[in-house]
Structure 1
Amino acid sequence: MTALHDPCHAADPVDQDDFTELTARHRRELHVHCYRMLGSFEDADDLVQETFLRAWRARDDVRDDGVRAWLYKIATNACLDAIRSRKRRAPYLQPYPDTLLDELSPDRIVVERETIELAYLAAIQLLPARQRAVLILRDVLDWSAAETARLLDLTVPAANSALQRARATLRSTQWTPSRPSGDEQALLTGMIEAHEHADIDHFIRLVRDDIRISMPPAPMTYLGVASMKPLFDLAFGPDGMGEWRLLPTSVNRTPAAASYLRRPGEVGFRPFKLDVFRVVDGLVTQIHVFDARMFDDLGLPKELGDDA
């Protein structure tokens, strides 16, 4: 992780072509920043557009600050404004495709799993917005205390105090990062095979007894293997939904499976859901089940045939 410095300064008024050249290369990392702040892929889209609109209106200021830091200041303040205007938090977190995270230039910023996985995002969404911003700038983006204070119009002691409170709250959530392990691909393959073949015993061997399954935006959470029987009956029972085909993918630097369903009487397998797995010590501890709206962003097929 590196601090955000940009030597690029503009000496003359910036026209639209210059503005695009100066700002476009920062779009993806700003999108990831807004996503961390808001927990929503779709809201991040809107906030990046708002960032560039505000930047265009203030384009003459670009000569006074490094372009990258200047854009981060605008994006962070746009996110803080959006959070203040919300009547409530986003109803649920959304996944972020790894293919888009990989668009980031490696010499700019590396998106590590512990700073983007859903468990981390859920934990930092509990922070007050300004503390969340300080934590992201300091601990994720590696800004200095002085840079963070300047961006948020705080004193350095105030920025440091906000960081200490944010870290304490994060510790109290009992969040711990899940570390990538060599057996994750084999585990994902096993989960896919168990799902496609309706092999419940195999599935149970791959998960922890205290597994948690959530289905945003539905508020309920299934806790433990025993609670999953209604899900098994719905998906695989004699009156179940149909046949399944799954494709491996990844979001938020964690393994995931895209599920396609062929209902009785249908020809092809159509997009149905996205399962995102959290793996700890070689077993699945949590599954977030999302709808299929992210399939296009993941570059997944619109339909599968029998040869899939």
Structure 2
Amino acid sequence: MPGNTPRSGTGVEADGRRSAEDLLALARGGDGEAFRALVEPYRRELQVHCYRILGSVHDAEDVLQETLLAAWRGIGDYEQRSSTRTWLYRIATNRCLNALRADSRRLRERAAPKPEVPLPEPSRRRSEPSWLEPYPDVLLDQIADHQPGPEARYEVRESVSLAFLAALQLLPARQRAVLVLRDVLGFRASEVATMLDTTANAVTSALRRARGALTHELPSVAAPLPNSPRERRIVADFSRAFEAGDVDAIVALLTDDAWLTMPPLPLEYHGLDAIRHFLATVVLCDGRRHVLVPTRANGQPAFGYYLRDPRSPILHAHGLLVLTVSGDRIDALTRFHDTALMAMFGLPRSLRDSFEVDSGH
């Protein structure tokens, strides 16, 4: 079995077309380049798998690194009773479950920002995850492009939608893992049982309970295809209304039972009246104006959210705004306050009013 640190080898450099069998044999002999070539095709999908279970991009990356290190250390014991992909998913899933059991992990709570203005009384105070973070579509493309056709890409994005992610986080950890492995990734019950060291009957039972719980949490109306004419029209109308500070025009684009949330703040505003009041008294109060820079997160339209300063040409980031589109309307507005997330989306912390990046920041 190789040691803790991969050593550089010559086999992979000599021939980039080596088979998985060749790479595995070299990796077992301590060739770090062969190991990297063996696992690299699965890196992004493993990160997304960890993200689905944990709800946090940063925690998913941490667990991915733990997974790859564990795979390197344990490759000598890999008996090839399953594919390399299945073996890696087994390690990743159990590392995620260990993370969820560890009270010391930061994924359990996120520090809530201090509001700049008093917030109105919410429709409810939620118990949903404060650690939920958005995931850049540019990274999802690295997975979706391996699957032909727009329908396959749509399914990849649906399985990381914010509504699906938030609902997943409400499930017990093992139910969460079972549902992702079975319904999202398509592993057989027997394979999942082996991964979780349980029985196929237990997997089937957990999947039935998880499906039942999610039925009440997910939207009943399908979203339009990403970047379809219908979605582009909704996004353009929203951006125009928001930048103009037109509360009524924004509200006209929402479904009657729309939600507004602001992770990690445990507050939810439900319905047109509550959202209209919030926009008028908080987001667009006192003539505040914003600039929205389009991006995509979790298969959904999103914007970098910048506040105009009447005393300066510099626009300062105030987080990320994600739209959940349902049919011809917007079903949810989710604003992530953490400006540290902006870099993952290729967005700066500040912009000049001409939309050029402020090179001093």
TM-score normalised by L of structure 2: 0.77
Matched with 2:206 is 162
Check conservation: 1:32, 1:44, Cα contact below 8 A.
yes
Q: In 2, Cα distance between the equivalents of 1:268 and 1:174? A: 39
The superposition leaves residues 159-188 of structure 1 with CA deviations (integer Å, 9 ceiling, x where unpaired) of 212211211222243554632254111111
Q: CA RMSD in A?
A: 2.2
**Candidates 227, 235, 241, aligned match of 1:188:** 235
Matched with 2:92 is 75
Structure 1 position 42 matched with structure 2 position 88: no
Aligned residues: 300
Structure 1 position 236 matched with structure 2 position 284: yes
Q: In 2, Cα distance between the equivalents of 1:191 and 1:114? A: 21
Q: In 2, Cα distance between the equivalents of 1:35 and 1:201? A: 36
Matched with 1:15 is 31
Q: In 2, Cα distance between the equivalents of 1:94 and 1:176? A: 23
Query: SS in structure 2 opposite 1:179?
Result: coil
Matched with 1:279 is 325
Structure 1 position 91 matched with structure 2 position 135: no
Matched with 1:127 is 171
Check conservation: 1:178, 1:278, Cα contact below 8 A.
no
Between 211-220 and 154-163, the greater mean CA deviation after superposition = 154-163
Check conservation: 2:254, 2:331, Cα contact below 8 A.
yes
Matched with 1:151 is 195
Check conservation: 1:271, 1:303, Cα contact below 8 A.
yes
Query: SS in structure 2 opposite 1:180?
Result: coil
Aligned-partner residue type, residue 267 of structure 1: P
Matched with 1:3 is none
Q: In 2, Cα distance between the equivalents of 1:42 and 1:178? A: 29
Q: In 2, Cα distance between the equivalents of 1:286 and 1:161? A: 32
Check conservation: 2:163, 2:218, Cα contact below 8 A.
no
Q: In 2, Cα distance between the equivalents of 1:61 and 1:177? A: 47
Q: In 1, Cα distance between the equivalents of 2:291 and 2:330? A: 20
Q: In 2, Cα distance between the equivalents of 1:105 and 1:231? A: 35
Aligned-partner residue type, residue 236 of structure 1: L
Q: In 1, Cα distance between the equivalents of 2:171 and 2:278? A: 35
Check conservation: 1:268, 1:305, Cα contact below 8 A.
yes
Check conservation: 1:34, 1:79, Cα contact below 8 A.
yes
Identity score, percent: 41
The superposition leaves residues 198-220 of structure 1 with CA deviations (integer Å, 9 ceiling, x where unpaired) of 11221121112332101111111
Aligned-partner residue type, residue 233 of structure 1: T
Aligned-partner residue type, residue 273 of structure 2: A
Query: SS in structure 2 opposite 1:295?
Result: helix
Query: SS in structure 1 opposite 2:20?
Result: coil
Aligned-partner residue type, residue 250 of structure 1: R
Between 264-273 and 75-84, the greater mean CA deviation after superposition = 264-273
The correspondence of residues 215-234 of structure 1 with structure 2, limited to 5 A, is 215-227=262-274, 228-234=276-282
Q: In 1, Cα distance between the equivalents of 2:30 and 2:240? A: 56
* Change over 3 Å in CA distance of 1:259–1:126 after alignment to 2: same
Q: CA deviation at 1:113?
A: 2.9
Q: In 2, Cα distance between the equivalents of 1:78 and 1:200? A: 45
Structure 1 position 32 matched with structure 2 position 48: yes
Long gaps (5+) in structure 2 = 1-18, 110-128, 356-361
Check conservation: 1:14, 1:59, Cα contact below 8 A.
no
**Candidates 180, 184, 204, aligned match of 1:136:** 180
Long gaps (5+) in structure 1 = 1-6
Aligned-partner residue type, residue 119 of structure 1: A
The superposition leaves residues 221-272 of structure 1 with CA deviations (integer Å, 9 ceiling, x where unpaired) of 11222223243233333x34x4321112111111112211122322211221
Q: In 1, Cα distance between the equivalents of 2:72 and 2:305? A: 41
